[in-house]
Amino acid sequence: MQDTFNRVLLILVSTFLLHACSVTDNKKHLLQNVVDEYYTVYSERTDFERFMAFYDEQAQLEDIIYGNSLNNKKEIRTFFAWDKGQFEMLAGKPVLTISKQVIDGRNVITEGYFNQFKYNGQVLGPWLFVIVHQFNDKYKIIKQTDWINYTPRKQFLGGKNMNQGLHEK
C-alpha cells in the first residue's frame, strides 16, 4: 500500500514539475517572439505606430548617457519621434545589429550597435548600445534603460547627470 502511494505521489510531483517547466519555457518563448518582433520593427524603422505598440501606457525610459528620464508612453513617443528630422540609413544596412541577448524572467538585455546613418545631413554612428527592457505580464515594455555610446561625444554631452545621487543609495 505504501509502495503504491509513493509511486502515485512520484507521478503527480513529476507531472507537476514537467508542467511548470513547460509553462516557463512557453512564457520565455512568447517573450522571445515579442522581443524579436520589437527589434525587427526598430531595425526597419518604417512603422512607428507598430513600434510604439510595444510600450505600456505607463512605461518608463531612461537614457543614461544622454540624461533623459521619460515617465510614460506619450513622453517616449515624443522622444523617439521618427517623423522628426531627415533620417537616412547608409549602405543599405538596418538601423541596428544585435550581437548578444539574455532573457531572464521578464527582463531582456540586448547588446549590439546602431549602424551608421545620416540625420539632418550629418553622418552619425556607428554606436554601441546595451538596452535593458522589463516587460509586464501582457508582454508590454514597462521600463527601458538605454546605454548608448553616442558619438561625436561633443554633440551629446549635457543633459542630466544620471550618476548624481549614486553615493546616497
- Paired strand residues for 89: 117
The confidence score (pLDDT) of residue 41 equals 97
**Pairing of the two strands 141-148 and 55-63:** parallel
Task: Tell me the pTM.
Answer: 0.78
How buried is residue 139: exposed, middle or buried, by Cβ count under 10 Å (0-12/13-18/19+)?
Answer: middle
Question: Cα torsion for 54, 60, 61, 62, to the nearest 10°?
Answer: -160
Q: Tally Cβ neighbours within 10 Å of residue 32.
A: 13
Side-chain-side CA neighbours of 94 within 13 Å: the count stands at 11
Give me the CATH topology for the region 2-160.
Nuclear Transport Factor 2; Chain: A, (3.10.450)
Residue pLDDT tens, the chain, 169 long: 566 656 654 554 555 544 444 445 677 789 999 999 999 999 999 999 999 999 999 999 999 988 899 999 999 999 999 999 999 999 889 999 999 999 999 999 999 999 999 999 999 888 899 999 999 999 999 999 999 988 766 666 665 555 555 445 4
The confidence score (pLDDT) of residue 166 equals 42
Residue 51 contacts residue 34 (beta carbons within 8 Å)? no
**What is the residue whose three cell numbers read 556607428?**
126
